Amino acid sequence: MADEVREPDHEGEPEAPAPPRPVEDRPSDEVAAALCDRFADAIFFESHGQSVVYLDRAHLADAGGYLRDDEQFTMCVDVTAVDHLVDGVRHAAPGVAPERFEVVANFLSHTRNRRIRLICEVPESDPSVPSLTGVYPGTDFAEREVFDLFGIRFDGHPDLTRILMPDDWVGHPLRKDDPSARVPVTFKGDPRPR
Amino acid sequence: MSDELAGVTDPNVLDPSEDAIAEPIGSQEAAADHPFHRVPADEARLERQTGEGAQELRTREREIVMTGGTWPVDELGDTMVINMGPQHPSTHGVLRIMMELDSEEVVRAKAIIGYLHTGMEKTGEELTYVQGATNVTRMDYASPLSNELVYATAVERLLDLEVPERATWMRMMLVELNRISSHLLFQATNGMDIGAVSMIIYGWREREEVLRLLESITGLRMNHDYIRVGGVAADLPDGWREHVLNTMDIVEAGVAEYDALLSENPIWLERTVGIGAITTEECIALSITGPILRSTGFAWDLRKAQPYLAYDDVDFDVIFTENGDVFDRYRIRLYEILESVKIVRQCVANMPGGDYRVQDRKVTPPPRARIDESMEALIHHFKLFTEGFKVPAGETYTAVESPRGEIGCYMVSDGSGKPVRMHIRGPSFYNLQAMGPMVRNSLVADAVAIVSSIDPILGEVDR
C-alpha cells in the first residue's frame, strides 16, 4: 500500500533501489540492512543492543509503511521527539548530520518478537515530518502530543491540534528554550490577567 | 373498550392471573373514555398487590404505550453533542469525553485530555537520575512500581549496569504485588461504575491489605520511590515472608468472592457481555496493549514474550479471552490477580540472598555506618544526593508490562547528571484511543462501562 502512495518529490528516490552496499558495510540486523538498501541515506546504529536506523525525515512514513507491510512490524509502539538545543555531548550515530530536533518512532513486531527504532533529524527552521497515522493509526495521540509539546508538525495528520496544553497556549513546553516557571502561578482571586 | 374497563372496576370479574398492566394504560381511547386514575383501590386489588407472591416479576404482555406523540427520534440525523466529564465520577479522574448523541445512542466520542497535565516529562529533565524515580512514580499512581522499574532499567541500560539477583527478584515480587493492588482497584471501581456498588468496599478491603504490605516493605503506601537505579532502596523487612503469604491468602479469598459475586450474576452479564467489543486487528492498529489486547484473543504479554527481570524462572500463565468485550476485560484482570499471586509465592520460595543493590559506588551511596567513620564516604554521599551521577551519552528505550499494558521509557543522555529527554510511553495514553471505536453505537450507560473497562489512569495519560 505504501508503495503506491509514495510522494514523488522526495529526495533520495526510494523508488529506485540504491546500489547494494559492500558486504562488510551492511548492518548485522537484517531489517536494518533492508532499510539501508531501500533508503540510500539510512544509517544503522546499534544502541545498547537495540537496532536504531537514522533516516531522512522525508522517508519516515514510507519506512513505516515498509516496516508494516514487508517486515511484519505490526505496531508502532511510540512516537516522541527530543530537543537537543543545549546538549553537553550531542549523541548521534556516526555519519548523521545532527539537527536541533529528533523525531523517534519505536516499532514492535509481534510475529517476529523484535523491535526497531527509527530516528529522523528535524531542523529548527522547518520542524515537520510526514505523519505515520496513515500507516499506524495508533500514533494519532502521540503525534498530537509531539506537536503540542515540541511544535513539530506531522504532515498528513487528520487532526493536528494541541492535546495536553490548552488550545490557546503560546509556546511548546518541552522545547529547551521554553523554560519551566515561565508562566507565574496564578492564585485564586489574583486580579492580574492569566 | 368500555366493557373491558367496566370489567376492571368490578372486583368480582377481575382475574388475578390477568395482570392489569396487560392492557394499554395510556392508549388514545382509554385516555378519552377514562379519567387519569384508572381504578380506585379496592380490597381484592389490595390483597393481590400485597399478598404472597405479589413481588414476583410477571412478564408483561404489552409494553406501556406513550401518549402525546412518538419519542423524538429525528429522521434527519440531528444529533446533540454533550460533554461527559471532566468532573464526572465515572471518568476515573479528569477525563472529558465529547459525545455526539443520537437520542441515547453514541454516534461518536472523542477523549479530551490534558486536565492533569503537570509537565512531568519536563520535570524529569530538571531532576538528577537519583531524583528521577520520585517523579515518574507519580505518573501511573495505581501502579507506581512499574514506572519506577521502567525508569530504573532505562538508566541501567545506559550505564550498562547489572543488577544483583536478589534485587531482581525483589523487584519482580514488588511489581507483581503492585499488579495485584492495581487490578483490585480496577475491580472496585469497575464494579461501582457498572452498578455493583458493593464491589468498591470489597475491592478496597483487599487492596488495603496489599498496600499495607507494600508500606511495610517500601515505607509508603503509594509513590514508593523504592526501585532505584542499581537495585532497590532497602532490604526486605523482618517477617516479610509471613506477611506476604498471609496477604496472598487474603487476596485469593477476595478474588473467589468477586468471582462468586459477579461472574455469573445475570445483571452483571447484562451490563458487560458484548459491550464495547474490539478486535485484535483494531487493537494492534491503535497501538493498544495489555489486558485490552489480551481480551481479543491475542496472548501478548511482555513478561512472556520478551522476558525481563526473572520472569523466565517463574511459572505463570498469560490470561487471554476471545470476545474483547467489557466482561472479558473484567475476567482477565480478575484471573491475572491469581497469576500474580502465583508469581509472588514463587518469589517468596526462591528469593535469593545477597545484595539488594549494586556495590558500584558510582550509583549506590556508601552504607550508613561508613559515613560516621569516613570523611570521603560523607562527601560521596553528599555528592551523590546533590549532583547525582553522570550517565554516558546515549539513548535507549526500555519496556515492561505494567497492569495496563506496555509502559516504556525513552531516555536520552548527554553525559551529564540529568537526562536530556525522559519520555514515558504511558499505556493508558494509547489505550484511551480505543475508546472511540468501542463506544460507537453504544448507549451512554454502556459508555461508562467501556471507559471503566479501559482502566485509564489519568495521571499517566496526561503526565
- Return the closest-CA partner of residue B14 out of B50, B34, B41: B41
Query: In terms of DSSP H, where are the helices of chain A?
Result: 30-38, 60-71, 140-150
A 162-181 residues with CB below 8 A of B? 162-166, 173-174, 180
Whose cell is 517523579? That residue is B135
Please tell me which residue of chain A has the smallest CA distance to B422. A82
pLDDT computed for residue A70 by the predictor: 87
Distance (Å, whole) CA B30 – CA B280: 54
Contact (CB<8Å) B397/A75 = no
How is residue B132 written as a grid cell?
528521577
- Return the closest-CA partner of residue B8 out of B44, B59, B51: B44
Q: Which amino acid is at B380?
A: H
Task: Enumerate the residues of chain A whose CB falls inside 8 A of the CB of residue B390.
Answer: none
Residue B345 distance to chain A (closest CA, Å): 29
Report yes or no for ipTM above 0.90.
Answer: no
Please tell me which residue of chain A has the smallest CA distance to B95. A164
Distance (Å, whole) CA B140 – CA B458: 8
Distance (Å, whole) CA A117 – CA A138: 16
Evaluate whether B391 touches B415 at the Cβ level (below 8 Å). yes
Q: Nearest by CB to A165, which of B117, B288, B416?
A: B117
Distance (Å, whole) CA A157 – CA B331: 36
Residue B36 distance to chain A (closest CA, Å): 54
- Return the closest-CA partner of residue B227 out of B356, B417, B381, B404: B356
Please tell me which residue of chain A has the smallest CA distance to B409. A78
Task: Enumerate the residues of chain A whose CB falls inside 8 A of the CB of residue B423.
Answer: 78, 80
| pLDDT confidence bin for A194, thresholds 50/70/90 | low
pLDDT computed for residue B4 by the predictor: 47
How is residue A19 written as a grid cell?
546500489
Residue A32 distance to chain B (closest CA, Å): 17
Task: Enumerate the residues of chain B whose CB falls inside 8 A of the CB of residue A90.
Answer: 393, 414
This prediction's pTM: 0.81
Distance (Å, whole) CA A79 – CA B397: 12
Evaluate whether B147 touches B139 at the Cβ level (below 8 Å). yes
pLDDT in tens, chain B (463 residues): 444 444 444 444 444 444 444 444 444 444 445 444 444 556 666 666 666 665 555 554 544 444 444 444 555 557 778 888 777 777 677 888 888 888 788 888 888 888 888 889 999 998 999 888 899 999 888 999 999 999 999 999 999 888 999 999 999 999 999 999 999 999 999 998 888 889 999 999 999 999 999 999 999 988 888 998 988 988 899 999 999 999 999 999 999 999 999 888 888 988 888 888 898 998 999 999 999 999 998 888 999 888 888 898 999 999 988 888 899 999 999 999 999 999 999 999 999 988 888 887 788 888 878 888 888 888 888 888 888 888 998 999 999 999 999 999 999 998 888 999 999 999 999 999 988 888 888 888 888 899 989 988 888 888 8
**Listed range (A17-21, A89-93, A178-182, B170-174) with the worst mean pLDDT:** A17-21
- Strand-strand pairing, B80-84 and B96-102: antiparallel
Contact (CB<8Å) A138/B413 = no
**Cross-strand partners of B265:** none
Distance (Å, whole) CA B17 – CA B48: 10
- Return the closest-CA partner of residue B436 out of B268, B283, B274: B283
- For an interface test with B, the pick among A78, A79, A113, A178 (most B C-beta atoms closer than 10 Å) comes out as A78
Q: Phi, psi at residue B413, to the nearest 5°?
A: -120, 150
Tell me the three-class secondary structure of chain B, residue by residue: CHHHHHHHHCCCCCCCCCCHHHCCCCCHHHHHHCCCCCCCCCHHHHHHHHCCCCCCCCCCCCCCCCCCCCCCCCCCCCCEEEEECCCCHHHCCCCEEEEEEECCEEEEEEEECCCCCCCHHHHHHHCCHHHHHHHHCCCCCCCHHHHHHHHHHHHHHHHCCCCCHHHHHHHHHHHHHHHHHHHHHHHHHHHHHHCCCCHHHHHHHHHHHHHHHHHHHHCCCCCCCCEECCEECCCCCCCHHHHHHHHHHHHHHHHHHHHHHHCCCHHHHHHHCCCCCCCHHHHHHCCCCCHHHHCCCCCCCHHHHCCCCCHHHCCCCCCCCCCCCHHHHHHHHHHHHHHHHHHHHHHHHHCCCCCCECCCCCCCCCCHHHHHHCHHHHHHHHHHHHCCCCCCCEEEEEEEEECCEEEEEEEEECCCCCCCEEEEECHHHHHHHHHHHHHCCCEHHHHHHHHHHHCCCHHHHHC
Buried b (16+ CB within 10 A) or exposed e, A108-118: bbbeeebbbbb
pLDDT computed for residue B406 by the predictor: 92
Q: Nearest by CB to A141, which of B117, B300, B433?
A: B433
- Return the closest-CA partner of residue B399 out of A57, A117, A175, A84: A117
Contact (CB<8Å) B414/A90 = yes
pLDDT computed for residue B202 by the predictor: 92
Counted residue by residue, chain A has a size of 194
pLDDT computed for residue B209 by the predictor: 92
Tally Cβ neighbours within 10 Å of residue B14: 16
Contact (CB<8Å) B119/A166 = no
Evaluate whether B115 touches B458 at the Cβ level (below 8 Å). yes
Distance (Å, whole) CA B455 – CA B292: 9
The dihedral sign for the CA sequence B261, B266, B267, B272: positive
pLDDT computed for residue B14 by the predictor: 44
